[in-house]
Chain A
């Protein structure tokens, strides 16, 4: 059924700290590594070492430049994967019932055996969380590593999504965002976690933690120029000699 559940028992999701993320892409690579052998295996990887590589990734790291009004710029690395929305439009548009949101944990999944590959779900998602597998002819997406988080054969500390376990900086946390007392909910509350594009009305579960403000607010935005524009070589020599 592609009608959404009224409520889910849990709201499993990720909290991503943009203040910590260093943009190393390890989460994206380990996601690909795990999932190409997991629930949605294989993840297409065409012309991987050639001039025009293409394929399915569940997690991609974008890098944005953010420039404040007073001209102070900063770089923000921005990993993006499925937000496992409460009002997931990708689920309700699915004509076949292949897309569904699980009642027990809120994870949004695709049943590859029912998917007809119409791609409408990827049009309905404002975040670009769904990627079409040209080879298999079906839509694929982040599973929140259901084949890890419930996997009894893994040691307990490994039962988190691949992106979370691999992040060398500790920028990613996994847990139940529906439980206000969970570690991830508390972390999100403490740090002002926010949802992406709330105006789309999708109610994402994943939360992003904003980059912290710079420690020194009185620091100059830019150094003063060392040489005046237009001064020729001789004039600059003269300037140096006369300034001695």
Chain B
């Protein structure tokens, strides 16, 4: 998923059309990103849907067309964090959710080695996990990753480095 520039009209009259076009172009990629963060497809789809609805509500405030995609990425990340926070609450509040797609019961197609990597990824602190996924799955630049995470570029660099070390250690321990 390379960085892209979005060409959209800003008038409110064609807001729905412009957002629908954005959805056509980016919803799948964003849903995949959310899936990696959350592990279950339904939550991932909801996170993306909510991000687009948020963009819809704030459309009039969008001054720079190129800001739409960074907004969506950041919003999907925020929504995913919210879901993960709720999952830490007691089950009567958080509700039930499916096991992650890489769990043993649902990841037969992924294979043991990939499952090991994904489980290791999800043992990392949230920020390290986000940095790795944005940099190496979504292939965002450090600048774009910083924008999506709401941190400085230097923080992205150091967080990514620490995350790779930690991931390597976890995988090494499991070897």
Partners in one complex: no
Residues of A bordering B, CB below 8 Å: none
